[in-house]
Structure 1
Amino acid sequence: MAIQRSERLEGICKEIHDSANRLIPVVMSLSQLECRKVRETYMRLYGEDLAQLRPIINPHNLVLTLMMLNPFERDAALARKALHLNSNYKPLIEIYTTRKSSHVLLTHQAYHAKYMSHLDLDIAGIEPPHPFQKILLALSASHKAHHAETSQHIAKCDAKRLYETGEGKARAGIDEAVVIEIFSKRSVAQLKLTFSNYSHIYGHSYTSFLKKVDCGAIGDAVRSVAKCICNPAGYYAKVVYGWFKGETSDEGAIARVVVSRGEADMGEIEKHLKKKYSVELKAVICEMIPQGNERDLLLAMATPKSLPYL
């Protein structure tokens, strides 16, 4: 079986090497893991990196580029783009709240290897300063800390602190120092438990409070964190719908969501899209993406694969 897989991989790579036009049809039949195996085999056979090869990889086809990268390289590339090209920091929020700490560490390493810079330093160096900046640095610090098992006691205490320094005040708002302290010292799992306790104790979610009170950009950042932690599928559905309706300037949102969540919770995201916004993911893709390779790839990724190709 292993020999057959190896021969199949080598056959695919030869097919791509002999005719670059075959890359897209081949990739459409593969999972992301299989795409990365093809990339590795192509490098071994021909000494060239498919993810960097031009004109095989069109620089404008973000989907294809992201599919060829391993998850850590992909997130490093998304982080770099967020910081240096479009100043949209939500991709970084997504990385820090939906990835394991081991994944985040490897993403930091991939970022440094590729760009010869430290991700934390690039976030700290955002100019002009941005409210998302402190939140991102706090989340990054959280992943570096040693975390014990989740604690109900700590969750209740943190929920109480968030309430008393937030909507429990005479003039409701956000105590930035308290939020950053909690975000920097608690794991994502612990924060999720805190937000759950907040809802249980006070009868509504922390995000509901943030939605009602104008806390400015810092409120938007904190709300994005809470939403992404508590309901990632709902968060991503909103990202896709906002991109679809032109409500955000989140360039590359559909490629980022479909590739990063395609083999995680894409089915749940599609359910949220249909239930809350009455739209189908494939219909959104067809309406917003011009006919061509990028649309074909997105549609292929939105279609579950029953059996491995390799």
Structure 2
Amino acid sequence: MQDTLLSFFSFQKGTCHRKENKMATLKVPDTAPSPTQDSEKLKKAFHGLGTDEKAIIWILGHRNASQRKKIRYTYQELYNESLIDRLKSELSGDFKKAVILWTMDPPERDAKMANKALQSKDKGIDHLKVIIEIACTTSPHHLMAVREAYCSMYDCSLEEDIACRVTPPLRQLLVGLVSSYRYDKEVVDEIVAKSEAAKLRDAIERKQLDDDDVVWILCTRNVFQLRATFECYRQIYGNPIDQDIKCCGTGNLESVLQMVIWCIDSPEKYFSKVLRASVVGLGTEEDSLTRAIVTRAEVDLMKIKEEYFNMHKTSLDDAIVGDTSGDYKDFLTTLLGTRL
């Protein structure tokens, strides 16, 4: 017990931390307190004269998905109440939304965001971004877990809801993307890349972007094969494929296909654009900002930060600090690895 406490206190001073992978920004202690200790500290943060938001940020903002899951289970066992429900009652605003999304199990979190997107009454396609992100920037195993969580949470499949709520031709593409189980090893066939680049070019020249070949290629090939195909297209036809798709028109299908290609070809560039759009202009687009930080902090946010700097010649950390405030800012910068 004494060794555990010493490790915890040394981490609190910012002297003992690690990143779980080189692309993640999340910092967790080398030896974390037990789920019971964390649950007790969280319970204490909910009592007294006002909620101790700093304690909540400190604990949950320095725990990985596995640790957060154990904390939720232990908190329920100790106090016979849901940690998520308690957070909902204690917190408010964008800070509450961010903490709750972070505390949820990642597949359940993504299933919830996908369902909210499909319930949206918006006539445009911005609400579909989250579905494209889940389908095209996560691992095949995670996407399968999201589909399983969706069925459990909403008594129907993600594919069914897309089919009911999205109209053709986007319906076929999105159902195909979320149904996919891509091979996740780095295997590329250059002959196939050249052949399928030609098929994509043919569809673009005919302005038939809903062609079966387009949907089949984008929804079945592994991401490494698709990146090779996109590069082959650029070399043979002179333009990046997303630019040629843009020249086909300004409809929803063209816009969605561009997003799909960006997410597959370079997730870090895609999310850099999402983050830039969320902090530039009149007001902050908090939902996009929260989604990008929360979903990528354990995946590749370090790469996204590097790409953001390369693209915009300013740091993502500074942009978020300058555009947010209070506990919301403190929580996001904790996930960014800015705050110890």
Normalised to the residue count of structure 2, the TM-score between the two structures is 0.77
What is the CA RMSD across the aligned residues, in angstroms? 3.0
Q: Alpha-carbon deviation of 1:230?
A: 0.7
Partner residue of 2:329? 295
CA 191–247 in structure 1, closer or farther in 2 if over 3 Å, else same:
farther
Q: Alpha-carbon deviation of 1:273?
A: 1.8
- Aligned with residue 72 of structure 2, among 36, 39, 51: 39
CA 260–116 in structure 1, closer or farther in 2 if over 3 Å, else same:
same
* 1:135–1:221 CA contact under 8 A, matched in 2: no
CA distance in 2, matches of 1:241, 1:187: 28
**CA distances 1:176-212 after superposition (whole Å, capped 9, x unpaired):** 1132232334333432332122123323321122234
- Aligned with residue 160 of structure 1, among 190, 194, 198: 198
* 1:13–1:38 CA contact under 8 A, matched in 2: yes
In structure 1, give the amino acid aligned to 2:217.
I
Partner residue of 2:266? 231
**CA distances 1:258-293 after superposition (whole Å, capped 9, x unpaired):** 11111221122112222222332223223332x222
- Aligned with residue 80 of structure 1, among 115, 121, 130: 115
CA distance in 2, matches of 1:7, 1:92: 35
* 2:140–2:184 CA contact under 8 A, matched in 1: no
Q: Alpha-carbon deviation of 1:41?
A: 2.4
CA distance in 2, matches of 1:231, 1:74: 23
Partner residue of 1:179? 214
Normalised to the residue count of structure 1, the TM-score between the two structures is 0.84
User: Does residue 221 of structure 1 match 2:256?
Assistant: yes
In structure 1, give the amino acid aligned to 2:35.
L
**CA distances 1:204-234 after superposition (whole Å, capped 9, x unpaired):** 3211222344252111111111111111100
**CA distances 1:56-95 after superposition (whole Å, capped 9, x unpaired):** 3547522101111122111111111211136510111011
CA distance in 2, matches of 1:96, 1:297: 27
CA 131–237 in structure 1, closer or farther in 2 if over 3 Å, else same:
farther
* 2:204–2:245 CA contact under 8 A, matched in 1: no
Q: Share of identical aligned residues, percent?
A: 25
In structure 2, give the amino acid aligned to 1:26.
I
User: Does residue 284 of structure 1 match 2:308?
Assistant: no
Q: Alpha-carbon deviation of 1:301?
A: 0.7
- Segments of structure 1 that go 5 or more residues without pairing to the other structure are none
- Aligned with residue 104 of structure 1, among 143, 146, 159: 143
CA 7–226 in structure 1, closer or farther in 2 if over 3 Å, else same:
closer
CA distance in 2, matches of 1:133, 1:205: 25
Partner residue of 2:58? 25
Matches within 5 A, 1:67-146: 67-85=102-120, 87=122, 88-126=127-165, 129=167, 132-143=170-181
CA distance in 1, matches of 2:70, 2:93: 21
* 2:75–2:81 CA contact under 8 A, matched in 1: yes
* 1:228–1:235 CA contact under 8 A, matched in 2: yes
CA 97–106 in structure 1, closer or farther in 2 if over 3 Å, else same:
same
- Segments of structure 2 that go 5 or more residues without pairing to the other structure are 5-30, 47-51
Count of residues paired in the alignment: 299
SS in 2 for 1:166: helix
CA distance in 2, matches of 1:52, 1:130: 38
CA distance in 1, matches of 2:195, 2:148: 34
Matches within 5 A, 1:44-55: 44-53=77-86, 54-55=88-89
